[in-house]
Chains A and B, each alone.
Chain A
Amino acid sequence: GAVVSQHPSWVICKSGTSVKIECRSLDFQATTMFWYRQFPKQSLMLMATSNEGSKATYEQGVEKDKFLINHASLTLSTLTVTSAHPEDSSFYICSARQGVSYEQYFGPGTRLTVT
């Protein structure tokens, strides 16, 4: 149980275009989803926390207008990287949790390359 999927697993896009990443909780209702960014050989950097039906809470230094997060249902959250640039290339990971637990269940990640 507690499976989280991400789609796509990897994506290449051209500079200036937008790309959407989906995160789904497959067998549970995720009241909260988290979006992380991970650079090679580095730790996870929390970008934002999203609660179903509410606006996402962004961490300091994360551009809200560049990284649009939507959590429209209890099983789906999306991250849209708008007007992507090469510096946005990274590994994006989502996680989800049930209720108010601290425990998070992670998706396999999405590798974004902006050319």
Chain B
Amino acid sequence: ETGVTQTPRHLVMGMTNKKSLKCEQHLGHNAMYWYKQSAKKPLELMFVYNFKEQTENNSVPSRFSPECPNSSHLFLHLHTLQPEDSALYLCASSQVMGQFYNEQFFGPGTRLTVL
């Protein structure tokens, strides 16, 4: 595997379900990101992890819970979602050098549908 991978690629869930999205990066980077892209809207940054520490939570509702066990893996745990949470969820990674975050590499995304 190379680059940034995400699983599953597609997910349909009910509002009472609990599911998790997984992201893995094979680039040796030390920062990882979650983005949300709703239909016909720009990408929105959700969370940022730098060396496994969360450095950004962009006012995301608590029904989205991120987890970063190491620099290569990032999860997004989902519970009691709403239909308006249906979107493409994208993971990205980059290398951080001091205060400078280099270019981000994105995964293919998980297309989430909440019924």
The answer to whether A and B interact is: no
